[in-house]
Amino acid sequence: MKYLWLFWLPLLYLPSLAVRNNTGFGNLQLSDFLIGPYIILVYLRVKDSWIQRLEPGTKLYIHRLIPIFALFIWWAFISTFTISMRYEYTSSYYVNFGVLKIAKWVLYVFAVILTTSALSKASSKEYQGFLWSFLVCGLFVGVGLVVTGNGNASGFTDGSVSSDRLFEDNGINVLLSMVIVFLVGMLVRGNGNKLWRRATALGLVIIILGFVSARGRGGWIAALVALIYIGANINIQQTMRATVVGLMIFTFAFTNNTTFQVEVMKTVSPEDTGEYYKDIYGEVDLGVDDGGRLGIFIYQLRRVIDDPIVGRGIFHRGGSSGTYVTGSHNFFLQMFLETGIPGGLVMIVIFKTMWNHASSEDAKKRNIALPVQAAIIAAAVSGMTETYFYGGMELFTFLIIYGIVGSMPAPDNP
């Protein structure tokens, strides 16, 4: 029973398959059904010391983050609960939608808090078990994408695209970007036992091939930036080896995977890509707002001042909000739009606090600073390309990686 949570964790990363339900307030994924049992299993693991963990003098790093999370949730709730009153809606749709998004945030953050508590009291054996479990999480996603190409989601609109993809394209790429850079960082720092490091090196090949099989340039850019950061913090010989392996994987994917080829080409030359691939495969979907992100960002940035204190409410888009239904394609700007300047600043403080914890001397002594920093960089860059962190597995993955640092005993002085 003690280790059962480690076996349940990878199940959260199973593809949704047919278990995806559009509720009118967004899609329920398989993980939304499995996160409840996971919380129960982790709670059973930590229940004996949960009260003690919250007592003064037994603080972990994550305990310094919890009040900031709580402040953001409180402010977001105020902003969302008053939508109908402030915008004179006769329907409570936007309020209900926003409150459900906040509830999902709380659910997944609570799961990570419990996980972090479990890691704080884990033995060496249990910690190694967590590393194996996390590797399996990445492999579940990577193998699914390699085998299926994510339901043949190549982006063509000639009827060949499956509407029941295994994963959401952009989101799963962001998730994998964090997994990949974290695992690479762990290998570089020599963490885990010898067998785990060998398995991770082989597993990363599969995960990366899956990574390029799903559409989502934000995740690719995020991984690239984070890998550059890792390269800048290791010796030149290791950097060159990693660069050669990366170029080999890129070349193989570009020449053998149409999805990856189209995504790369429409990034480099979007005006030519549609016509070129139309002759070969039929119509090509260049994506929502593709090519207009800068103009959208500038327009949405100017809207922050329209409601600078409490914002428009969580996921209040379109309608009378004065913002685009598709959002700003930037998580941080979206938080300023939806929770005002105070909420946006609190979100930035959350990221900055996590970075400070990952950069601490305690993290460096345990050789976990670099992998966690790389994951934070990948998350931050991803957040600049789309609004990925409204709960769900992208947020869970980001926070559970931080949890390795968050589980350390914090010094008396912040």
pLDDT in tens, 99-136: 999 999 999 999 999 999 999 989 999 999 999 999 99
Closest alpha carbon to 313 in 93, 6, 57, 56: 93
More confident residue, 83 or 150: 83
Residues 145 and 273 in one domain: yes
Amino acid at 253: A
C-alpha 61/C-alpha 361 separation (Å) is 12
Residue 157 CA from chain centroid, whole number: 27
Mark whether 149 and 259 lie in a shared domain.
Answer: yes
The closest alpha carbon to 46, from 57, 54, 36, 34, belongs to 54
pLDDT of 155 above 50: no
The confidence score (pLDDT) of residue 25 equals: 57
Query: What's the confidence (pLDDT) of residue 224?
Result: 87
Q: In this predicted structure, which of 53-62, 314-323, 344-353, 391-400 has the lowest mean pLDDT?
A: 53-62
Question: HSE of 187 in the Cβ direction (CA atoms, 13 Å)?
Answer: 23
DSSP assignment of 334-400 equals HHHHHHHHHHHHHHHHHHHHHHHHHTSHHHHHTT-HHHHHHHHHHHHHHHTTS---SSHHHHHHHHH
More confident position, 166 or 35 = 35
User: How many Cβ atoms from other residues are within 10 Å of residue 56's Cβ?
Assistant: 5
Sorted by sequence, the CB contacts under 8 Å of residue 174 that are 6+ apart come out as 216, 218, 219, 222, 378, 379, 382, 386, 388, 394
pLDDT value at position 313? Answer: 93
Residue pair 342/349 in contact by the 8 Å Cβ criterion: no
Residues 262 and 304 placed together within one structural domain of the fold:
no
Cβ-in-10-Å burial (0-12, 13-18, 19+) of 98 comes to buried
Output the six-digit token pair for 306.
């329209």
**Token pair for residue 51?**
């009260």
Instruction: Supply the pLDDT for residue 266.
Output: 57
**Domain's final residue, options 229, 263, 289:** 289
Q: Which of 17-21, 40-44, 410-414 has the highest mean pLDDT?
A: 40-44
Element (H, E) at 215: none
Same domain, 319 and 246: no
DSSP summary character for residue 114: H
DSSP 8-class letter at 412 = S
Q: What's the CA gap between 27 and 220, in Å, rounded?
A: 24
In a domain, residue 205? The reply is yes
Range of lowest pLDDT (100-104, 145-149, 317-321, 405-409): 145-149
In this prediction, residue 228 carries a pLDDT of 85
First to last CA, the chain: 36
Q: Is residue 397 part of a domain?
A: yes
**Biggest distance spanned by C-alpha atoms of the chain:** 67
pLDDT at 214 over 70: yes
Sign of the dihedral through C-alpha 378, 380, 382, 388: positive
Between 151 and 282, where is the model more confident? 151
- Domain endpoint, select from 289, 315, 350: 289
Q: Look up residue 55 and give its two tokens.
A: 């007592």
Directed axis angle between helix 169-188 and helix 194-211, to 10°?
150
Say if residue 277 is in the same domain as residue 323: no
Is residue 384 included in any domain, yes or no?
yes
Task: Say if residue 154 is in the same domain as residue 280.
Answer: yes
* Rounded distance between C-alpha atoms, residue 140 and residue 11, angstroms: 9
Mean pLDDT calculated for residue range 277-294: 51
Q: Of the spans 21-30, 269-278, 353-362, which averages the highest pLDDT?
A: 353-362
Give the pTM.
0.85
274 pLDDT exceeds 50? no
Name the pLDDT band for 312 (thresholds 50, 70, 90): very high
Q: What is the DSSP letter of 384?
A: T
Half-sphere exposure of residue 79, counting CA atoms within 13 Å on the CB side? Answer: 30
Query: What range defines the domain where residue 393 resides?
Result: 60-121+292-414
pLDDT at 162: 41
What is the pLDDT averaged over residues 168-195?
A: 92
Which amino acid, one-letter code, is at 78?
Answer: I
Instruction: Assess contact for 156 and 353: CB atoms under 8 A.
Output: no
Round to whole Å and give the CA distance between 366 and 154. Answer: 42
Q: HSE on the CB side for 213, CA within 13 Å? A: 21
Per-residue DSSP letters for 38-57?
A: HHHHHHHHHHHHHHHHTSTT
Structure tokens at 112: 């990570």
Would you say 109 and 69 are in contact if contact means Cβ atoms under 8 Å apart?
yes
Which one of 289, 306, 334 terminates a domain? 289
Q: Which range is most confident: 140-149, 166-175, 397-406?
A: 397-406
Give me the number of domains the chain comprises. 2
Q: Check residue 18 and give its pLDDT.
A: 44
Q: What is the pLDDT of residue 322?
A: 85
Tokens 């010989």 locate to: 237
When pLDDT is cut at 50, 70 and 90, the band that residue 284 belongs to is very low
Count Cβ atoms within 10 A of the Cβ of residue 224 and give its class: 0-12 exposed, 13-18 middle, 19 or more buried.
Answer: middle
161 has a pLDDT exceeding 80 = no
Q: Which residues of 187-196 are buried (b: 16+ CB within 10 A; e: fewer)?
A: bbbebbeeeb
Q: Is residue 209 one of the residues assigned to a domain?
A: yes
Is 20 among the domain residues?
no
Do residues 260 and 376 share a domain?
no
Q: Which long-range contacts (CB under 8 A, 24 or more apart) does 240-246 make?
A: 242/184
Same domain, 341 and 406: yes
**72-97 mean pLDDT:** 93
Confidence of residue 242 (pLDDT cuts 50, 70, 90): low
pLDDT class of 24 with cuts at 50, 70, 90: low
| Together in a domain, 281 and 296 | no
Q: How many helices (H) and strands (E) does the chain have?
A: 17, 2
Most confident of 135-149, 210-224, 308-322, 360-374: 360-374
- Given a cut of 50, whether residue 86 has pLDDT beyond it is yes
Q: Is 21 inside a domain boundary?
A: no
Whether 152 is covered by a domain: the verdict is: yes
Q: What integer pLDDT is reported at residue 261 of this predicted model? A: 66
- The whole-number pLDDT of residue 11 equals 95
Tell me, yes or no, whether 385 lies in a domain.
Answer: yes
pLDDT mean over 275-292: 49
pLDDT at 73: 96
Are residue 101 and residue 150 in the same domain, yes or no?
A: no
Residue 71 scores a pLDDT above 70: yes
Same domain, 212 and 275: yes
Residues 266 and 302 occupy one common structural domain: no
Average the pLDDT over 170-192 and give the result. Answer: 93
